């Protein structure tokens, strides 16, 4: 983990190769995936610390000791709000594959061949990306990046067939080498295969990210995580609090804030509702009316209720995630 952040900080000093991508309008499409928090803070020395990971469980009993045959795929969504014009910042994505050996009660894993760095170029209004190998070699176009695109208020990173290092590691940390210990016990013959995505940033951030379409290839066979299941289908670990939790897939939107209508007519003493969508269901939403003597507004469970008080015109403001949407109201 220490080595990971050392590599992450090195990215900040690198002049990045920019790549132009297409902007994809999706009208705040609702998708399903594992929504997990990403919290990064400054430590006592002023440097960022914090790491989040999502492990998407696959079928048990598909383990193969041929570690050269493993490849990982997943779509990762990060909010554009992670980046700012004043302090651009970067997101570091590390794909790896974990294994759970029930008989032994322990984990093992194959770490990434390189860390993926995602940034945003505000001058050219597009994201950019690169990779950095274990020996600090810059990879301008990592082969596992299929596409990086802006989808409403999210940046979507499509990781396809990411090759992992075939050196099998344990979860134990070796202080002498500054990395996890190499697995020296006999290799188990069966185990659960777990695709894992780890994220960090190089500046403080408090928000959420999403992982969906996770799968692992072993040779010519692909095993996909079924995000349609209602039960827990993933695990989440956050370095700041050290807590581990099981997660079920949940719906998220690609936009920070959308409202179904921007103008309504309502009769005096009658009410109407307008659907409101935010990126995540837990996002805080507030509403206000420019004139509560004409129209009153309240918010609950994804809907704004507007009640006509007396004839006239008013504007209802809906706020969430730093964005504001306005609804023109005519009371008849």
The two beta strands, 91-101 and 106-112, are antiparallel
Do 219 and 301 belong together in one domain?
no
Which class for 44: exposed (0-12), middle (13-18), buried (19 or more C-beta within 10 A)?
exposed
Domain boundary among 238, 253, 268: 253
Do 117 and 136 belong together in one domain?
yes
Residue 305: strand pairing partners? 273, 298
Look at residues 207, 245, 283 and name the one whose alpha carbon lies nearest to residue 40: 207
Do 224 and 269 belong together in one domain?
no
**According to the model, what pLDDT value does residue 5 have?**
39
Q: Report residue 18's pLDDT band, with 50, 70 and 90 as the boundaries.
A: very low
Residue 209 predicted with pLDDT over 70: yes
Please give the average per-residue pLDDT across 280-293, as a whole number.
Answer: 93
Do 142 and 283 belong together in one domain?
no
Q: Find tokens 């790549």 and name the residue.
A: 19
Instruction: Please check whether residue 3 is in contact with residue 165, taking contact to mean a CB–CB distance below 8 angstroms.
Output: no
Please give the average per-residue pLDDT across 276-303, as a whole number.
Answer: 94
Residue 79 predicted with pLDDT over 60: yes
The pTM of the full predicted model, rounded to 2 decimals, is: 0.84
Q: Report residue 27's pLDDT band, with 50, 70 and 90 as the boundaries.
A: low
Look at residues 305, 234, 301 and name the one whose alpha carbon lies nearest to residue 266: 305
**According to the model, what pLDDT value does residue 16 have?**
34
**Residue 60 phi/psi, 5° resolution?**
-80, 160
**According to the model, what pLDDT value does residue 179 have?**
81
Do 178 and 315 belong together in one domain?
no
Do 56 and 85 belong together in one domain?
yes
**According to the model, what pLDDT value does residue 53 have?**
94
Please give the average per-residue pLDDT across 5-21, as a whole number.
Answer: 35
Percentage of residues of the chain with pLDDT beyond 90: 60
Do 102 and 114 belong together in one domain?
yes
Residue 209: strand pairing partners? 36
What CATH number is attached to the domain comprising 283? 2.60.40.1080
Q: Which of 17-31, 71-85, 287-301 has the highest mean pLDDT?
A: 287-301
- Domain containing 261: what range? 257-331
Do 97 and 148 belong together in one domain?
yes
Q: Rounded to an integer, what distance in angstroms lies between the CA atom of residue 158 and that of residue 178?
A: 30
Q: How is residue 72 written in tokens?
A: 């990982």
Q: Report residue 96's pLDDT band, with 50, 70 and 90 as the boundaries.
A: very high
Do 83 and 159 belong together in one domain?
yes
Query: CA gyration radius for the chain?
Result: 23
Residue 197 burial (CB count, 10 A): 29
Number of domains in the chain: 2
Q: Rounded to an integer, what distance in angstroms lies between the CA atom of residue 88 and that of residue 90?
A: 7
**According to the model, what pLDDT value does residue 59 have?**
75
pLDDT in tens, 256-271: 999 999 999 999 999 9
State the average pLDDT for the chain: 87
Q: How is residue 238 written in tokens?
A: 């956050």
Do 164 and 263 belong together in one domain?
no
Do 144 and 131 belong together in one domain?
yes
Do 43 and 115 belong together in one domain?
yes
Q: Rounded to an integer, what distance in angstroms lies between the CA atom of residue 95 and that of residue 124?
A: 28
Q: State the sign of the Cα–Cα–Cα–Cα dihedral 99, 100, 106, 107.
A: positive
Higher pLDDT, 195 or 16: 195
Locate all alpha helices (DSSP H) within the chain, ordered by sequence.
Answer: 2-12
Q: State the sign of the Cα–Cα–Cα–Cα dihedral 105, 38, 209, 82.
A: negative
Domain boundary among 202, 235, 253: 253
Domain boundary among 253, 271, 303: 253
**According to the model, what pLDDT value does residue 180 have?**
86
Cα dist. 150→77, 93, 125, 126, 287 in Å? 10, 17, 10, 8, 28
**According to the model, what pLDDT value does residue 281 have?**
85
Q: Rounded to an integer, what distance in angstroms lies between the CA atom of residue 191 and that of residue 63?
A: 5
Residue 115 predicted with pLDDT over 50: yes
Residue 144 predicted with pLDDT over 60: yes
pLDDT in tens, 45-58: 878 889 999 999 88
Judged by phi (left if over 0) then psi (alpha if -120 to 50, else beta), residue 61 lies in: left
**According to the model, what pLDDT value does residue 135 have?**
75
Cα dist. 37→100, 163, 235, 245, 301 in Å? 23, 26, 12, 11, 21
Please give the average per-residue pLDDT across 33-47, as a whole number.
Answer: 88
Q: Report residue 177's pLDDT band, with 50, 70 and 90 as the boundaries.
A: confident
Residue 171 predicted with pLDDT over 90: no
Q: Report residue 23's pLDDT band, with 50, 70 and 90 as the boundaries.
A: very low
**According to the model, what pLDDT value does residue 13 have?**
32
């Amino acid at each position: 983990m220490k080595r990971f952040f050392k590599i992450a900080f090195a990215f900040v000093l690198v002049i990045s190769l920019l790549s132009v991508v297409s902007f994809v309008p999706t009208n705040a499409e609702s998708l399903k995936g594992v929504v997990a928090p990403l919290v990064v803070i400054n430590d006592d020395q002023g440097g960022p610390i914090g790491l989040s990971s999502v492990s998407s469980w696959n079928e048990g009993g598909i383990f193969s000791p041929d570690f050269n045959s493993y490849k990982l795929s997943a779509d990762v969504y990060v909010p554009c709000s992670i980046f700012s014009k004043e302090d651009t910042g970067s997101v570091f994505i590390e794909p790896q594959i974990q294994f759970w050996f029930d008989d032994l009660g322990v984990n093992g894993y194959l770490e990434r061949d390189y860390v993926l760095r995602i940034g945003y170029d505000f001058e050219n209004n597009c994201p950019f990306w690169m990779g950095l190998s274990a020996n600090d070699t810059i990879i301008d176009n990592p082969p596992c990046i299929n596409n990086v695109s802006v989808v409403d208020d999210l940046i979507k990173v499509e990781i396809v067939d990411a090759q992992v290092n075939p050196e099998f590691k344990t979860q134990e940390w070796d202080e002498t080498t500054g990395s996890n210990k190499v697995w020296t016990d006999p290799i188990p013959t069966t185990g659960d295969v777990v695709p894992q995505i780890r994220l960090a940033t190089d500046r403080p951030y408090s928000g959420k990210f999403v992982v969906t379409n996770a799968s692992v290839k072993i040779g010519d066979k692909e095993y996909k995580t079924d995000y349609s299941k209602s039960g827990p289908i993933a695990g989440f670990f956050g370095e700041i609090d050290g807590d581990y939790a099981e997660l079920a897939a949940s719906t998220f939107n690609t936009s920070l804030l959308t409202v179904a209508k921007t103008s309504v007519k309502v009769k005096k003493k009658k009410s109407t509702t307008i659907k409101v969508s935010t990126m995540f269901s837990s996002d805080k939403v507030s509403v206000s009316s420019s004139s509560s003597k004409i129209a009153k507004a309240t918010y609950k469970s994804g809907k704004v209720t507007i009640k006509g008080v007396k004839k006239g015109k008013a504007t209802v403001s809906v706020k969430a995630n730093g964005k504001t949407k306005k609804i023109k109201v005519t009371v008849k």
